[in-house]
Amino acid sequence: MKYQYLLFFIFICNYSFSQTEFSKGFESGYKEGYCQDQGIGCIPPIPPIAPLPNINEKSNSYKDGYNRGFIQGQADQKNKTSTNSNDRVRYQTAKPNFNIDFIYNPYKDQNIVDPKIKKISYIIDEANVHFNAKDYNSVINDADKMIKIEANFAVAYYLKSIAYYKMGDILDAYNNGVKQFRLHKSDARKDWYETIYMITSEYLSTLMSMDNFLSVQNFCENVWYKDQLTNYYLALSYYYQGNTKKAKNLFKKASDIKSSQLYLKSINNGEFISNPYKNDANSAKEKNELTNKIKELLNTQNYTEAINLINSEFNNFHKSYSYGIRGFCYYYMSNYSKAISDLTSAINNSDNVLPDFIYLRALSKAQLSDYNGAIADYETLIKLGEKNKGQQYDMATIYNNQAYLYCKLQNFEHAKNLAEKALQLNESHWYIWDTMGEIEYNLGNYSSAINALTNAINLNSNPNSYYYRALSFIKSKQREKGCQDLSIAGELGEKDAISLIKQYCN
């Protein structure tokens, strides 16, 4: 059973770190391919995790990743299914880079009878034309026309939000972005809400870095729906203008943001906290240069140099970032013990649950034959995935990989139960059928093994499935078929197939 490795690293923290160039290109290409020839109404889904580069591709090539992603995106649009890439390891945890290049018309190409809906569909098409022409004022007017027809039409507010964003009006973009999600809590509406939320946070941080407290106050007082974010920044604006009474009340309303407690303590103790955003602004350029240097070293696989740079600048980043990057480097240097240590420190020093680090730690433990430890990490991911209804990553793949580890422990019955769960969630991944086939072979269920491995081969011609199907045929006294499969497995690179050909087929 082949066990593919995770070839990306997404870090969710106070500072950003990007994937390999191949991964970034794959994400962009996937979105473009998915929406190719679909018209302006296409909203691409969250891209799957980038596959491993093949022998003709490079991990540091954006172009190679883009081309692969474009092809897969086209295929997924055609099939309307999730990814059918050949990698055993894939799941998504990072926030999506939301595509705001077009708006979906839910009524297009339908036989519409309702005159109101027909009118709205026509206006959406008009808005798309205006959006393509970058005539954002007209897009807003189009959206207002829709609202007059249907006051709670979420797509209209989405249109207004992205138009205002394109025009640089963050306040109106935020207000409409929040409203479109409150009206219709679909995945598409949620994606844009999370994106505009992040943009707004960065915008307010920038204003704070310039001591522009009045602008922060004006912004937060004019949002339609008060929330933790705007209450927090409004509190900051009052705090740094000397109105600690109003600031105190607002910090209490923003209690979910940990910094609020620090400010409340400073007010109660008569202390003063200097503007941290201003300091961040002064060092932002330096941090950005360091981050880019680290990315460059990782893209060129200069892991030792990357570790040296991280060590020299360790305290200039959040601890979870420094430990996480260093753990990532140690993993790809095959120093799994140090990888586990640093990844554990990254997890312990983060305010958020970091599935990426837990996953990479599971891979590291498996490399050291700590299968039970790796299984425990996968169990954490399963519980987290069930809590979030599998929206953070591909639960089928997690179950599949846990099943693989139980195979390593020779617990084939439990492995089979996990593989069955994986197949219930997704039957389109070849590697899950491959796992099931190998399990059935080890349980002596040769007919079932042949069926499962045939499914895997039909989805992807891979050496592992041919190898175990050959063994299953031979055990079923179908030596001729088994020898044919051994020959194909050998051609595809399965070294063990050659010795078995000599044993059974000559």
Q: How do the domains of the chain map onto residue ranges?
A: 20-97, 115-201, 212-274, 286-504
Specify the pLDDT at position 394: 78
> End-to-end distance of the chain based on CA atoms, in angstroms?
26
Specify the pLDDT at position 320: 80
Q: Answer whether 30's CB lies under 8 Å from 69's CB.
A: yes
Is 91 exposed, middle or buried (CB count within 10 Å of its CB: 0-12, 13-18, 19+)?
Answer: buried
Residue type, 5: Y
Residue type, 197: Y
Reply yes or no on domain 286-504 having CATH 1.20.1630.10: no
- CA pair distance 428, 95, nearest whole angstrom: 25
Three-class DSSP category at 441 = helix
Q: Which pair of tokens denotes residue 90?
A: 């894939």
Of 97, 162, 154, nearest in space to 134 by CA:
162
Q: Rounded to whole angstroms, what are the CA distances from 294 to 188, 264, 385, 433?
A: 33, 37, 31, 39
Residue type, 295: K
Specify the pLDDT at position 53: 54
Architecture of domain 115-201: Alpha Horseshoe (1.25)
- CA pair distance 89, 370, nearest whole angstrom: 19
Query: Helices (H) and strands (E) in the chain — how many of each?
Result: 24, 0
Q: Rounded to whole angstroms, what are the CA distances from 298 to 67, 303, 306, 365?
A: 22, 6, 7, 22
Specify the pLDDT at position 185: 82
Ranges of the chain with pLDDT below 70: 1-22, 35-61, 64, 71, 74-114, 279-288, 351-353, 387-393
Could you tell me how far CA 479 lies from the centroid of its own chain?
45
- CA pair distance 316, 126, nearest whole angstrom: 50
Bridge partners (DSSP) of residue 346 are none
Q: Answer whether 30's CB lies under 8 Å from 376's CB.
A: no
Of 314, 205, 213, nearest in space to 259 by CA:
205
Q: Evaluate the CA torsion angle 223, 226, 232, 234 in order and state its sign.
A: positive
How many residues are listed for the chain in this entry?
A: 506
Residue type, 134: K
